[in-house]
Structure 1
């Protein structure tokens, strides 16, 4: 258990970015926690899992631990993070919790730390929204809204198209 907590802390530290790096979008605040740009990408109706990404900022003076995520149309979310074996092989593995230090930002993104919901019982298309609940140890639940982005979205918010 101790090894798991240390590993989760190390993984989350690898994806902590300065506050200025987060994306614009809907912002949700509670108990000193700020969640922004919560999103997923539309998947086919036959897909039974959904990856969700977001930026979480801890504006408190103490570390906070994200321990759970849930929606009403799938199993409870799990946290996945990239992992490198001793031989250098890259894989993805489940982590039980994510700690965010005071004043730090955790950016969940593709190929990085993210939430996965399995056994998804509802189909969503680009432009849809749904509610999710994040659970923080000692702080309780926080409700956020997740935007479903079109599958061809390239995430380059700086370029303009004509």
Structure 2
């Protein structure tokens, strides 16, 4: 039990860190919450789920809780986070809500905390954008725009095209 508590604390600390987006992206602000670099990676047209990543900063003096995420073209989003069992096996588990302490930053990233939308009914390509809604307990809903990045993770975002 102690091992699980230590592991959970380490995982939590690993994902509440200064924002380190690999490019600026759009920034959305409401009620002291700042969301930046909301993005996903293009997937095949036959994919039924989509992972979405972003950075959320709480600039208020009280904790805020992210309780939901939604888009028009899929089921409501679920939050997933890495988990380590007592035996040391790594897995992914669903998290009902994400609390962000005052002045803290939550960075959602691959292999870390992220939003998953299942039953996706639309295909997106690199360069596309779509709207998503985040729900914060006591603060209501916040609309953001999510950028669809190209599936080639090795490309240079700053490279000039000819």
Question: TM-score, normalization: structure 1?
Answer: 0.87
Distance change (3 Å), C-alpha of 1:160 and 1:9 = farther
- TM-superposition CA deviations, 1:62-92 (whole Å, max 9, x none): 0000000000000000000000000000000
- The answer for unaligned runs of 5 or more in structure 2 is none
RMSD, aligned CA? 3.3
Tell me which stretches of 4 or more aligned residues in structure 1 moved more than 3 Å: 1-14, 19-23, 154-162
- Partner residue of 1:71? 71
Q: How many Å apart are 1:24 and its aligned residue?
A: 1.7
- TM-superposition CA deviations, 1:90-144 (whole Å, max 9, x none): 0001000000000000000000000000000000000000000000000000000
Moved more, 116-125 or 23-32: 23-32
- The answer for unaligned runs of 5 or more in structure 1 is none
**How many residues are matched?**
162
Q: How many Å apart are 1:154 and its aligned residue?
A: 3.5
In the alignment, the residues of structure 2 paired with residue 104 and residue 127 of structure 1 have an alpha-carbon distance, to the nearest angstrom, of 30
Other structure's SS at 1:21 match: coil
In the alignment, the residues of structure 2 paired with residue 64 and residue 7 of structure 1 have an alpha-carbon distance, to the nearest angstrom, of 23
